[in-house]
Structure 1
Amino acid sequence: MISQLSWKVGGQQGEGIESTGEVFSIALNRLGYYLYGYRHFSSRIKGGHTNNKIRVSTTKVQAISDDLDILVAFDQETIDVNFHELRAGGIVLADSKFNPTIPENEHITLFSVPFTEIATELGTSLMKNMVAIGATSAILDIEPSQYHEVVNEIYGRKGEQIVEKNMQAIENGAKYLKEQLEFQRQDLYLEKADGKKRMFMIGNDAIALGAIAGGSRFMAAYPITPASEIMEYLIEKLPKFGGAVIQTEDEIAACTMAIGANYAGARTFTASAGPGLSLMMEAIGLSGMTEQPLVIIDTQRGGPSTGLPTKQEQSDLMAMIYGTHGEIPKVVMAPSTVEEAFYDTIEAFNIAEEYQVPVILLSDLQLSLGKQTVEPLDYSKIEIRRGKLVAEELPEVENKAYFKRFEVTEDGVSPRVIPGMKNGIHHVTGVEHDETGKPSESALNRVAQMDKRLRKLNNMQFNNPVYKNVQHESPDVLLVGYLSTRGTIEEAMERLKADGIKVNHAQIRLIHPFPSDEILPLVEKAKKVIVVENNATGQLASLLKMNVGNANKISSLLKYDGNPFLPQEIHTRSKELI
């Protein structure tokens, strides 16, 4: 029996590959297994190779596996593209419809199963994916009945007969493998899981849920991969809380609409990817100048331009910090797990209102769309902080003077009112202005207002800006990363330890303002620092050098081919750099 399994299903986009992975993984999640899934898909609606790789374990996993135990193939291309991942003893389950072949390999077994034929006998070839799940279940020693609850949830709206047909397809797939192919191996039987109930979600779902829990009741956005799921989730859920989602004509409108709604007193945000953020830059500057809270989610993908819309990359880092013209205070956050994505989204709204600044919450495609097991969220941790938003009635002012919305204060944060509040009248403009908002080109005023705005982040508080796994006082190497690389780095770290290398790990969760005081001691104590990131120019490494020095000991471990890091890659390449 095994405690961990790597399973992949592949075929042409649009023929049920995603639903195959969904039914398989959700069922196993409900049995108490931990899962981590990653989809490879094309930037088109139908056609082109797609696959879904799912890691199943009796213990927590936070990374894609290096190899593969079972490959389910609906076409020959799936075998050709993914065969190299199979470990010795691995299995290929392929639809006999396309006469599958595998390279000569005595350690890999091919089972040709008539997925399409069995499904057609039940009424439609569309159920071939359920036949494949049944065949997989026979290999893993999982009863087909374990899928009934999930199948009923997904297909129940189509009627009881459809549910029964899909369940029959699963049962027939399992039966064919056991009886017709006389499957006897028990080395892939899965150990029983603990049966505990845990959430199973993508990062975008966690962000959307965090927005609701954090008090946001309005989202303005334009669809874009890999951010669209945030909007889709909230279109369904937000109206239940008295909120609304508006699909705008473009990202410029989405960002300015979010600024306007925040000005009116609502907690609002927008979400996009790199191309959309490029269009928002001027509006982000408007948020900084008018000191209106603004939360933006940037789900990074391959660039530049349209680039690789459906592939992994972390190349927006510098743009998010320095992309706007002029100088404004700005916060850039980077959660490294799905759980952190939930809590950090809430904190992004708090920081935006407390400091009256734009806050960018970074994600990447792997974190946004990778589906994984999540422990139950702790809603008692949620805290709503609105900063200097004036709730009580304002006092009368002499001579009908305007309210000092942009008052020069010691901490840089001015009092804020909702439009329409009695005695709260003031100007709002994107040009430089005085304390009441009236345009001003006075040199003294310019310096006073600039200094005031830039003072905001001097004393900013952020809990745990760096995730630290420190096991050695003087390590041979410090591995540094951000966003979705955390789990992969942790796994590589264990392998380096097995090689006798003393290694620590730091995952940076606050990108700007940079947590120099937190990271500097870790860098200084390490003999070597390796920065792991999905881009070609080493952007995080450059930030590290700019903010903590020690450039002579900092090296980059980069990957920018559109694929996430695998643990073995970090393990092997780190040893080369040490």
Structure 2
Amino acid sequence: MMKQLSWKVGGQQGEGIESTGEVFSIALNRLGYYLYGYRHFSSRIKGGHTNNKIRVSTTQVRAISDELDILVAFDQETIDVNFSELRKGGIVLADTKFSPVIPDEDSVTLYAIPFTELAAELGTSLMKNMVAIGATSTILDLSPDDFYEVVEETYGRKGQKIVEMNMNAIQKGASFLKQELQYNRTDLYLEKTDRKKRMFMIGNDAIALGALAGGARFMAAYPITPASEIMEYLIKKLPAYGGAVIQTEDEIAACTMSIGANYAGARTFTASAGPGLSLMMEAIGLSGITETPLVIVDTQRGGPSTGLPTKQEQSDLMAMIYGTHGEIPKIVMAPSTVQEAFYDTVEAFNLAEEYQCPVIILSDLQLSLGKQSVEPLEFDQVQIRRGALANENSLPEGDGKGYFKRYEVTESGISPRVLPGMKNALHHVTGVEHDETGKPSEVASNRQVQMDKRLRKMEGLLFPNPIHKQIKHAEADVLLVGFNSTRGVIEEVMERLEAEGIRANHAHIRLIHPFPANELRSLTASAKKVLVIENNATGQLANIIKMNTGCAEKLASVLKYDGNPFLPNEVYFKCKELI
């Protein structure tokens, strides 16, 4: 029996590939397996090759696998594009409708199954994906009944007849492979699990849920891949908690609307991708100089411009740190797992209000859209901290002229914050430089004092666990460094290096700015070689590390920027080469 396997379904976009993967993976998750899924899809509504690769394991996995055990193909292009991933002994389940051909019949077994024809016998060819799931269940020694609950939840709104038709399709696929092909036992049976319940979600869902748990009650956003699911999730959930989502005319409006709502006292945020963040830069500066809390989610994708809107990339780092004009305090955080995406989003709202500055949650397409098994979230860990929000009943009368010192110069750099309508809280708010009451001022001495005050906030920043560390050795042969979704693949590579006697440590950066230089410097100092793994062409994280730690002589980059996430073998062989 196997402890893990990899399954992929592919075809043309718009013919049910996503729903096939969803039904398959949710059912396996409920059987107690750990899953990690990654979708390859085109930047169009319909047409173009798409596939969903799902790794099923008895232990936690956070990366897609190098090889493929089972490929379900609804067209020849799926075989042509993905055949190279199949391991020796792998299986192709293909629809007879297109007369499938495989390049190597000696290493891989092809089972041509009339998916479309069997589905049509039930009344509609659209259910060919359920026939494919049934065929897969036979290979994995699963019962068609294992999928009933998920099918009922997925199609129940269409009526019980549709549910039964889909279940019949699964049964037809299972029976065809078992009886008509006289299928015998294979080596692809998975070990049984304890059926422990876990969540199964994408990073965007975790971010949206974190915003809800963190007290956000308003979201202003404009749809964009790969961020749209955050807005779509909250459109359904926020009204039940007295909140609302507004789809704005563009990202500029979304950001400024979020600033206005935060100024009024509501916890609010926006989410976008690289092109949208470019449009928001002026507004982010407005948040910085007015010291208004602002939370923004950036789900990185392939750029520049429209670039590769549905593909993986991590090339927004420099833009998120240095993109705004002028100099403002700013926090840029980078969760690396779905769990961290939830907890970090909660913390982002706390930090935005405590330090009265913009906070950017940096994700990437693989983390935002990759679906994985998640242990139950601990909602009792959620804390709401509102920072220096003044008590209306204890406000002083101001400067003697009726104005409150909203931008009072303090040792910490954090001034008392008030909300509109509070008694004795009258003050100016402007995007130009101002004095302590907010009145415009171009006096040189005031400019320097206010600039120093704002920047001083970051000196006292308290961020929990700015670097996720796996330190096994006081002196390491290599330190592997990454951020966001590369964590899973780095963890797998570490295990392989360790098995070969190579002493490997791992540092995953969770706080991009202000950069945790001292903490990382101690780790780089104790390593012979530092390898930075990132999905961009210019080594942006590596350059940030060089600027902050000065370890350029021992640092090397492992880069990938073709739109696809790293595979474990790619990182492993590159590390071996550089070590």
After TM superposition, the score normalised by the length of structure 1 is 0.99
Show structure 1 runs of 5+ residues with no match: none
CA distance in 1 between partners of 2:143 and 2:190 (Å): 12
- Kindly state the Cα deviation for residue 397 of structure 1 after the two structures are TM-superposed: 4.2
Structure 2 equivalent of residue 529 of structure 1: 530
Show structure 2 runs of 5+ residues with no match: none
What's the CA shift string for 1:401-445, capped at 9, x where partnerless?
A: 200000001000001100011110000000000000000000010
What's the CA shift string for 1:185-223, capped at 9, x where partnerless?
A: 331111111101000000000000000000000000000
| SS in structure 2 of the partner of residue 127 of structure 1 | helix
What's the CA shift string for 1:418-474, capped at 9, x where partnerless?
A: 001111000000000000000000001000000000000001001110000011111
- Kindly state the Cα deviation for residue 258 of structure 1 after the two structures are TM-superposed: 0.2
User: CA contact under 8 A between 1:37 and 1:370: conserved in structure 2?
Assistant: yes
| SS in structure 1 of the partner of residue 387 of structure 2 | coil
Q: Which amino acid aligns with 2:211?
A: A
CA distance in 2 between partners of 1:400 and 1:237 (Å): 45
User: CA contact under 8 A between 2:198 and 2:373: conserved in structure 1?
Assistant: yes
Structure 2 equivalent of residue 495 of structure 1: 496
- Kindly state the Cα deviation for residue 501 of structure 1 after the two structures are TM-superposed: 1.0
Q: Which amino acid aligns with 1:545?
A: K
Structure 1 equivalent of residue 416 of structure 2: 415
Structure 2 equivalent of residue 196 of structure 1: 196
Q: Which amino acid aligns with 1:477?
A: V
Equivalent residue runs for 1:16-55 within 5 Å: 16-55=16-55
CA distance in 2 between partners of 1:232 and 1:159 (Å): 24
- Kindly state the Cα deviation for residue 105 of structure 1 after the two structures are TM-superposed: 3.6
CA distance in 1 between partners of 2:216 and 2:391 (Å): 18
- Kindly state the Cα deviation for residue 391 of structure 1 after the two structures are TM-superposed: 2.7
Relative to structure 2, which stretch is displaced further, 98-107 or 529-538?
A: 98-107
Equivalent residue runs for 1:101-180 within 5 Å: 101-180=101-180
Runs of 4+, deviation exceeding 3 Å: 395-400
| SS in structure 2 of the partner of residue 494 of structure 1 | helix
- Kindly state the Cα deviation for residue 398 of structure 1 after the two structures are TM-superposed: 6.5
| SS in structure 2 of the partner of residue 527 of structure 1 | strand
User: CA contact under 8 A between 2:392 and 2:422: conserved in structure 1?
Assistant: no
Relative to structure 2, which stretch is displaced further, 473-482 or 493-502?
A: 493-502
User: CA contact under 8 A between 2:397 and 2:404: conserved in structure 1?
Assistant: no
Structure 1 equivalent of residue 225 of structure 2: 225
| SS in structure 2 of the partner of residue 477 of structure 1 | strand
Structure 1 equivalent of residue 571 of structure 2: 570
Structure 1 equivalent of residue 319 of structure 2: 319
- Alpha carbon RMSD of aligned pairs, Å? 0.7
Equivalent residue runs for 1:46-85 within 5 Å: 46-85=46-85
Q: Which amino acid aligns with 1:449?
A: Q
Structure 1 equivalent of residue 487 of structure 2: 486
Relative to structure 2, which stretch is displaced further, 111-120 or 489-498?
A: 489-498
What's the CA shift string for 1:113-146, capped at 9, x where partnerless?
A: 0000000000000000000000000000000001
Equivalent residue runs for 1:146-545 within 5 Å: 146-393=146-393, 394-397=395-398, 399-545=400-546
CA distance in 1 between partners of 2:419 and 2:347 (Å): 21
CA distance in 2 between partners of 1:559 and 1:205 (Å): 26
CA distance in 2 between partners of 1:276 and 1:301 (Å): 11
CA distance in 2 between partners of 1:185 and 1:561 (Å): 39
| SS in structure 2 of the partner of residue 192 of structure 1 | coil
What's the CA shift string for 1:140-169, capped at 9, x where partnerless?
A: 000000111000001000000000000000
| SS in structure 1 of the partner of residue 346 of structure 2 | helix
User: CA contact under 8 A between 1:557 and 1:573: conserved in structure 2?
Assistant: yes
What's the CA shift string for 1:538-565, capped at 9, x where partnerless?
A: 0000000000001000000000000000
CA distance in 1 between partners of 2:194 and 2:237 (Å): 31
| SS in structure 2 of the partner of residue 287 of structure 1 | helix
Describe the shift of the 1:289–1:138 C-alpha distance in structure 2 as closer, same or farther (beyond 3 A). Answer: same
User: CA contact under 8 A between 2:39 and 2:53: conserved in structure 1?
Assistant: yes
CA distance in 2 between partners of 1:276 and 1:415 (Å): 31
Question: May I ask how many residue pairs the two structures share in their alignment?
Answer: 578
Q: Which amino acid aligns with 2:559?
A: L
CA distance in 1 between partners of 2:491 and 2:350 (Å): 30
What percent of counterpart residues are identical?
77
- Kindly state the Cα deviation for residue 500 of structure 1 after the two structures are TM-superposed: 1.8
User: CA contact under 8 A between 2:16 and 2:129: conserved in structure 1?
Assistant: yes
User: CA contact under 8 A between 1:329 and 1:357: conserved in structure 2?
Assistant: yes
User: CA contact under 8 A between 1:199 and 1:373: conserved in structure 2?
Assistant: yes
- Kindly state the Cα deviation for residue 396 of structure 1 after the two structures are TM-superposed: 3.3
Describe the shift of the 1:198–1:396 C-alpha distance in structure 2 as closer, same or farther (beyond 3 A). Answer: same
User: CA contact under 8 A between 2:332 and 2:359: conserved in structure 1?
Assistant: yes
CA distance in 1 between partners of 2:398 and 2:142 (Å): 74
CA distance in 1 between partners of 2:399 and 2:293 (Å): 29
What's the CA shift string for 1:51-79, capped at 9, x where partnerless?
A: 00000011111110000000000000000
CA distance in 1 between partners of 2:391 and 2:13 (Å): 53
User: CA contact under 8 A between 1:58 and 1:194: conserved in structure 2?
Assistant: no
User: CA contact under 8 A between 1:312 and 1:366: conserved in structure 2?
Assistant: yes
Q: Which amino acid aligns with 1:337?
A: T
CA distance in 2 between partners of 1:78 and 1:215 (Å): 44
Relative to structure 2, which stretch is displaced further, 333-342 or 182-191?
A: 182-191
- Kindly state the Cα deviation for residue 395 of structure 1 after the two structures are TM-superposed: 3.4
What's the CA shift string for 1:205-259, capped at 9, x where partnerless?
A: 0000000000000000000000000000000001111100000000000000000
| SS in structure 2 of the partner of residue 102 of structure 1 | coil
What's the CA shift string for 1:292-342, capped at 9, x where partnerless?
A: 000000000000000000000000000000000000000000000000000
